[in-house]
Amino acid sequence: MSELALRAEKLDAADELAAVRERFVLDEVVYLDGNSLGALPAAVPGRVDDVVRRQWGSLRIRSWDESGWWTAPERIGDRIAPLVGAAAGQIVVGDSTSVNVFKALVGAVRLARPAGESRDEIVVDATTFPTDGYIAESAARLTGCTLRPVTPGQVPGVLSDRTAAVLLNHVDYRTGRLHDLPSLTAAVHAVGAVSVWDLCHSAGALPVGLDEHGVDLAVGCTYKYLNGGPGSPAYLYVRRDLQDRFDSPLPGWNSHAEPFGMRPDYEPAPGALRGRVGTPDILSMLALEAALDVWDGVPVEAVRAKSLALTDFFLECVEEYVAAGLVESLTPVAHEERGSQVALRCADAGDVMKRLIERGVVGDFRHPDVLRFGFTPLYVSFAEVERAARVLGETVAG
């Protein structure tokens, strides 16, 4: 056994989260794509079957009350809240991330213009996952703003009294770089603008501290580190003191103060509920609720510590197993700048990833030349990390 394999064994033996792995359905594959689609929590199949057969099949419409369907968006939002550092009553679940980015950004521009101010710029991370940029362009067009795409590092320099809203990703989907949420949020606030954070690649992998850092609005998906299942609903955070001024561009009947009053005039519900839109997709939503059970007794701080240990160890193994010059890490070395993934630039990355998958190591390929490996601390072991790097070394060598 190699020295690194021995090290892996010791790290796994000392891992306080090791037992959490039993809460998932896993196999012999080394699954390093939980940052794209989290693995299946073992509690989900039975719960979904009950939702389908009993709640839908037998109780039918009675389930809107009796099975808690109607209140699922806010109830599940409160389950996500502690994972992102939010007190209860500020998150609702529903719709896709893209739709939530739209709600948040148009809402942010309106919050930034309480008395008709002329703020007319939306600043967006130019290196972000593209949907955020596309939706930001649409939000700018519909609110009469100009879009300013810049890198996160350039953000402080372009902020001004013209800035209405700033949309940033907490962790870059491609490189895995973690941006400085506290200081960027403070810079946005210093010019009187409103911050919107996309937590897709950080929630469930590291502490976010939404309340602590005074974030205004945030969105995120639930199918990556939150393991909610393919296309499970996203969520919207609206800080408590902004809720009564939050003015959604998608005021569906679910966000009405009296949804079953069927009143012709719109009156927004109090609190986070005004982030709801239409009828919630119950099957996907209750699968997510069951998936969140894996977090019982798991502190986000322990997850972060293991995440950094996993990515540190992976980088060390890559250094050892991959011949010099064949891959180049795009992921920052400094812990305070690293999310829970490692991105390696590599020639023929698409083909290399195909061969890795054939050999039981699953990451993903991001155009044009990036191998992306996500490390979910709840179910990835150090032994798997060692094996992944070893197989990578053999694969790129020939």
As annotated, the active-site residues are: 129, 198, 223-224, 372
Residue 348 Cβ vs a second copy, minimum distance, rounded to whole Å: 17
Residue 373 Cβ vs a second copy, minimum distance, rounded to whole Å: 13
Positive/negative CA dihedral, 327, 369, 123, 225: negative
* Residue 154 sits in the site that holds a second copy (CB under 8 A): no
The nearer residue to a second copy, 284 or 331, going by C-beta atoms, is 284
Residues numbered 235-264 forming contacts with a second copy, rule: CB under 8 A = 248-254, 256, 260-264
Residue 229 Cβ vs a second copy, minimum distance, rounded to whole Å: 6
Phi, psi dihedral angles at 261 (to 5 degrees): -75, -20
* Of the candidate residues 7, 120, 138, 271, the single one contacting a second copy (CB under 8 A): 138
The nearer residue to a second copy, 82 or 230, going by C-beta atoms, is 230
Angle between helices 382-397 and 3-14 (to 10 degrees): 150
Residue 282 Cβ vs a second copy, minimum distance, rounded to whole Å: 4
Q: How do 163-169 and 341-346 pair as beta strands?
A: unpaired
* Residue 114 sits in the site that holds a second copy (CB under 8 A): no
The nearer residue to a second copy, 7 or 253, going by C-beta atoms, is 253
The nearer residue to a second copy, 149 or 207, going by C-beta atoms, is 149
Residue 267 Cβ vs a second copy, minimum distance, rounded to whole Å: 10
State the DSSP string of 280-317: --HHHHHHHHHHGGGGTT--HHHHHHHHHHHHHHHHHH
Are 267 and 257 contacting, i.e. CB atoms less than 8 angstroms apart? yes
Q: Number of helices (H) and strands (E) in the chain: give both, helices first.
A: 12, 13
* Of the candidate residues 15, 74, 95, 384, the single one contacting a second copy (CB under 8 A): 95
Give the CA radius of gyration of the chain.
Answer: 22
Size of the site for a second copy (CB under 8 A): 81
Residue 249 Cβ vs a second copy, minimum distance, rounded to whole Å: 5
* Coil, strand or helix at 56: helix
* Residue 322 sits in the site that holds a second copy (CB under 8 A): no
* Residue 57 sits in the site that holds a second copy (CB under 8 A): yes
* Residue 52 sits in the site that holds a second copy (CB under 8 A): yes
Residue 340 Cβ vs a second copy, minimum distance, rounded to whole Å: 17
* Residue 364 sits in the site that holds a second copy (CB under 8 A): yes
* Residue 234 sits in the site that holds a second copy (CB under 8 A): yes
The nearer residue to a second copy, 47 or 240, going by C-beta atoms, is 47
The nearer residue to a second copy, 234 or 385, going by C-beta atoms, is 234
- Tokens describing residue 322: 């991959």
- Least Cα distance to 342 among 385, 394, 384 occurs for 385
Residue 117 Cβ vs a second copy, minimum distance, rounded to whole Å: 18
CA 300 remoteness from chain centre: 14
* Of the candidate residues 76, 86, 104, 106, the single one contacting a second copy (CB under 8 A): 106
* Residue 231 sits in the site that holds a second copy (CB under 8 A): yes
- Least Cα distance to 153 among 120, 126, 193 occurs for 126
- Least Cα distance to 342 among 332, 351, 350, 356 occurs for 332
295-197-277-130 Cα dihedral, nearest 10 degrees: -110
* Residue 145 sits in the site that holds a second copy (CB under 8 A): no
* Residue 196 sits in the site that holds a second copy (CB under 8 A): no
Site map for a second copy, 13-42, x if CB under 8 A? ------------x-x---x-x--xx-xx--
Are 250 and 102 contacting, i.e. CB atoms less than 8 angstroms apart? yes
- CA 82 vs CA 105, 200, 350: distances in Å: 23, 16, 37
Q: Which amino acid is at 242?
A: L
The nearer residue to a second copy, 102 or 321, going by C-beta atoms, is 102
* Residue 68 sits in the site that holds a second copy (CB under 8 A): no
Residues numbered 156-185 forming contacts with a second copy, rule: CB under 8 A = 174
CA 54 remoteness from chain centre: 31
